[in-house]
Amino acid sequence: MKQVMIVRTDLKMGKGKMAAQCCHAAIGAYKRADKDKIRKWENEAYAKVVLKVPSLECLLEIRNMAQAKGIAYYLVTDAGRTQIPESTITVLGLGPDEDDVLEEITGELKLL
C-alpha cells in the first residue's frame, strides 16, 4: 500500500511550495480514499512516493486513468497567493491504494 503525489515540473515551483502542494494532495486524496484501504495503509508503513510529470496534460491523463480504475485522487488547485497564478493545477494525489494498482498508471514516472 502506498500513496503517490505527482508534481508538475513545468511550473518551476520552489521546494517549499512543492512540499506544501504535496501535503494538500496527500490530505485531499486520503479524505476520498476507501476506509478499508486507509486502515490497511495505516497498519503498514504509511508509504508515500513523490513523482514528476512535465505538463498539465500528462497530469490530467494520469488522473483520468486513476478515475477509470476507481483510485481515490485529488487535484490541487493553487489559490494564487505566492508563486503560482490562481487556479493553476499543481499536484495530483493518488490513494492510498495497492502498490500494483498504482504502478499500472505511475510505473513509468520518475521520482522527483
pLDDT of residue 93: 98
Which residues does 2 contact at the CB level (< 8 Å), separation at least 6? 41, 47, 48, 49, 95, 96, 97, 99, 102
Q: What is the H or E stretch that residue 110 is in?
A: strand 110-111
When pLDDT is averaged across residues 107-112 and rounded to a whole number, the result is 96
Average pLDDT, the chain: 96
Q: Tell me: the pLDDT tens digits for 84-94?
A: 999 999 999 99
Are the CB atoms for 1 and 40 separated by under 8 Å? yes
* Domains in the chain: ranges and CATH: 2-89+105-111 (3.40.1490.10)
Q: Tell me: the pLDDT tens digits for 38-77?
A: 999 999 989 999 999 999 999 999 999 999 999 999 999 9
CA-based nearest residue to 1, from 94, 103, 96 = 96
When pLDDT is averaged across residues 79-101 and rounded to a whole number, the result is 95
pLDDT of residue 45: 87
Share of the chain above pLDDT 70, in %: 100
When pLDDT is averaged across residues 12-33 and rounded to a whole number, the result is 97
Give me the DSSP letters along 17-62. Answer: HHHHHHHHHHHHHHHHS-HHHHHHHHHTT--EEEEEESSHHHHHHH
Which residues does 65 contact at the CB level (< 8 Å), separation at least 6? 104, 105
